[in-house]
Structure 1
Amino acid sequence: MDSLSQAALGAAIGVAVMGRRTKPWKAALVGALAGTLPDLDSFYDHGDPISNMVFHRAKSHALFWQTLASLPIAALTTAALHDWRHFKPWWLTIWLALVTHALLDWTTVYGTQLGLPFTDTPFGLGSMFIIDPAYTVPLLIGIGVALSLRNTRGWRWNVAGLVISTAYLGWSALAQHHTTNVAEENLRAQGHQVERLLVTPAPLTTVLWRIVAITPQGYLEGYYSLLDRDRTIAFDNFPRGTDLYAQLRGNPYVETIARFSRGFFKMSERDGRAVITDLRMGMEPRYTFNFDVALRQSPTFAPLVPPTRHSDRLDAQSGLPWLWRRALGEKLPPPR
């Protein structure tokens, strides 16, 4: 999730755990800092853009390492605050802020390596978009009231914000499950042979959902709104570049993205460069993660070391009006 949501979650946890043991602003500040701490890994350069993508949300987001790190971080915090008598609740605050950061990231589609050092599998439920005001606003309201009132009533507002935001996470998982069932019904009825299915929310909402289905012929993309009048989904079919992938099997960068994306990728050639694209983040034909991985030296390709990244983002001027109208149930074709 975005940094504001992570900071708000950490701050709300700090106020909830510390209660009247310390000033609300102090608990909120420590919680917010701890809640954003795991994302400091994004400032570390691993040498190439693909490694930077894969190793983000890795060790700093692993529950085992976070648990180990919470003790010295809590010790430094209590020492800085001169508040050793409340060491245990500060430790609980730090630990909860760290692990809930990782678990919140797990609800997105990116891929969070929660199980390190035991497994490097990237986990991603994909039930939340990286930015969703419906999740963040209740937390901010609860924290704001708690900091303003600074009493038991304010603490209850903060807890209410945590309960509402957590309930929203549950709602998003249920909406994803429902949409998955609808998508599977449509794919079967339309005679598609599906190898992998991805169902994720469109930006800023859990009302409109994007469906990507990998097939032997390529991949399908469709959209379904919970406000649609019927359950019919129109899918567009796109080539996946399987022939190009066959030529570049063994390229370490290609294999890394193929694994990290859990098979949701496509390959294409642009201006003599082989490009691998993560299909999970973006919409056809604009995606956040595109990597040039090889140069054509006819008839073969030479690895491009290091690879280069470029993004093709949909501009807000054309994307937001479509998003709003499609979420409300108007079956418009997506902007291409």
Structure 2
Amino acid sequence: MDSLSQLALGAAVGVAVMGRRTAVWKAALWGGVAGTLPDLDVLIEHGDPIRNMVLHRAETHALFWLTLFSLPLAAAIARLHGEWPQWRRWWLAMWLALVTHPLLDTMTVYGTQLALPFSDRPFGVGSVFIIDPLYTLPLLAGAGWALASRGSTRGLKANAAGLLISTAYLAWGLAAQAHVERLARDSLAAQGINAEQVLVTPTAFNSVLWRVVALAGPHYHEGFYSLFDAEPRITFDRFERGAALSDALQDIEGVQRITAFSKGFYKLHADDTRLFVTDLRMGQEPSYIFTFAVAEQGTSARPLTPPEQLGARLDLRRGLPWLWRRLWGEPLPPPR
């Protein structure tokens, strides 16, 4: 999730755990710090854009390492504030603020390596968009009330309510995702598309309009469904996955990394001079955040060292009006 959501979650968790055992501003401050710390890995340079992508949300998001780190962090905070008798409570607050960060990230589609150092599998549920105000606002409101009231009973209850509402929103996202996936599989079968894999993720800033990507042989199919649509049917557009380029690019390290990290949801494509790999999970046709030039055209593909990131975002002047109208069930084709 975005940094504001993680800060708000950490602060709310800190306040909820510490209660009146310390000043509410201390609990919110250190909870917010702990909730933000894992994302400092964006400052690490791994050598090229693809490595930077796939190694984000790695060790700093691993539950094992965060659990170990929570102990000295809590001890340092308890010593700093002269609250050593409360260090176990501080440990619980810091541990929860740290581990809820990657657990929340796991609800997005990106991929979070929770199980390091035992497994480098990237977990990504994809039931919430990386920025969703309906998730973040209850946390901000609850923690803000607790701070403004200096830890009054009502303020602490408001903070707890914010945590409850935001967690319920995540549960709603899971239920909506499962519903849309059932409709998507029915629609694919009705249209004679034998899908090998189906991905269902929310579009930007909401959990009402969902994007569906289905892999089927040399093609991928993209469709959209709003919970306000009049008919429980999804129309799909078909696109090439670039199977003809597979032999030329399969031995390039960057392509192998994207193939694994995206769990197969990628495409290969080319222009007159270069060959590209694109992660299909983040963005929509034809605009994707993670597109990389990985090789030069020629009699044999010559790897680019380092690869170049060329990701593009949807044109907001066209995309936002379409998103708003399509969200409310208007049957509009996506902007291409």
Q: Deviations over 1:59-89 (max 9, x none)?
A: 0001111111111111122222221111011
Contact 2:218 2:242 in 1 (8 A): no
Aligned twin of 1:21: 21
Aligned twin of 1:169: 170
- Measure the CA separation in 2 of the matches of 1:114 and 1:246: 32
Aligned twin of 1:157: 158
> Structure 1 residue 315: deviation in Å?
2.2
> Structure 1 residue 137: deviation in Å?
0.3
SS at match of 2:220: strand
SS at match of 1:291: strand
Contact 2:10 2:35 in 1 (8 A): yes
Q: Deviations over 1:15-48 (max 9, x none)?
A: 1011001111111010000000000001110110
Aligned twin of 1:185: 186
Report the identity percentage.
Answer: 58
Aligned partner letter, 1:284 = E
Contact 2:146 2:156 in 1 (8 A): yes
> Structure 1 residue 246: deviation in Å?
2.1
> Structure 1 residue 157: deviation in Å?
0.3
- Measure the CA separation in 1 of the matches of 2:272 and 2:91: 54
**Residue pairs, 1:258-297, within 5 angstroms:** 258-297=259-298
Aligned partner letter, 1:93 = A
- Measure the CA separation in 2 of the matches of 1:54 and 1:79: 37
Aligned twin of 1:131: 131
- Measure the CA separation in 1 of the matches of 2:153 and 2:60: 34
SS at match of 1:306: strand
Unaligned 5+ runs, structure 2:
none
- Measure the CA separation in 1 of the matches of 2:272 and 2:129: 32
**Consecutive aligned runs of 4 or more in structure 1 exceeding 3 Å deviation:** none
- Measure the CA separation in 2 of the matches of 1:12 and 1:178: 30
> Structure 1 residue 272: deviation in Å?
1.1
Q: Deviations over 1:234-265 (max 9, x none)?
A: 10000010111222111111111000000000
- Measure the CA separation in 2 of the matches of 1:39 and 1:208: 28
The reply to whether residue 101 of structure 1 matches residue 101 of structure 2 is yes
Aligned partner letter, 1:181 = R
**Residue pairs, 1:3-22, within 5 angstroms:** 3-22=3-22
- Measure the CA separation in 1 of the matches of 2:95 and 2:246: 43
- Measure the CA separation in 2 of the matches of 1:145 and 1:252: 50
Aligned twin of 2:37: 37
Aligned twin of 1:216: 217
- Measure the CA separation in 2 of the matches of 1:158 and 1:148: 11
Give me the TM-score of the superposition, normalised by structure 2: 0.98
- Measure the CA separation in 2 of the matches of 1:14 and 1:244: 51
SS at match of 2:207: coil
The reply to whether residue 246 of structure 1 matches residue 280 of structure 2 is no
> Structure 1 residue 270: deviation in Å?
2.2
> Structure 1 residue 49: deviation in Å?
0.5
Aligned twin of 1:316: 316
Aligned twin of 1:226: 227
**Residue pairs, 1:55-74, within 5 angstroms:** 55-74=55-74
- Measure the CA separation in 2 of the matches of 1:249 and 1:48: 18
Deviates more, 1:278-287 or 1:247-256: 247-256
Aligned partner letter, 2:178 = H
- Measure the CA separation in 1 of the matches of 2:6 and 2:13: 11
Aligned twin of 1:54: 54
- Measure the CA separation in 2 of the matches of 1:239 and 1:261: 17
> Structure 1 residue 309: deviation in Å?
0.4
- Measure the CA separation in 2 of the matches of 1:254 and 1:217: 17
- Measure the CA separation in 1 of the matches of 2:307 and 2:125: 28
SS at match of 1:75: helix
Aligned twin of 1:88: 88
SS at match of 1:300: coil
Unaligned 5+ runs, structure 1:
none
> Structure 1 residue 287: deviation in Å?
0.3
- Measure the CA separation in 1 of the matches of 2:139 and 2:21: 21
- Measure the CA separation in 2 of the matches of 1:120 and 1:60: 12
- Measure the CA separation in 2 of the matches of 1:23 and 1:45: 38
Q: Deviations over 1:102-137 (max 9, x none)?
A: 000000000000011111000000001000000000
Matched positions, count: 335
- Measure the CA separation in 2 of the matches of 1:83 and 1:310: 50
Aligned partner letter, 1:153 = R
Aligned twin of 1:335: 335
> Structure 1 residue 230: deviation in Å?
0.6
- Measure the CA separation in 2 of the matches of 1:293 and 1:311: 13
Q: Deviations over 1:259-315 (max 9, x none)?
A: 000000001112311100000000000000001111112x21111111110121112
Contact 2:259 2:266 in 1 (8 A): yes
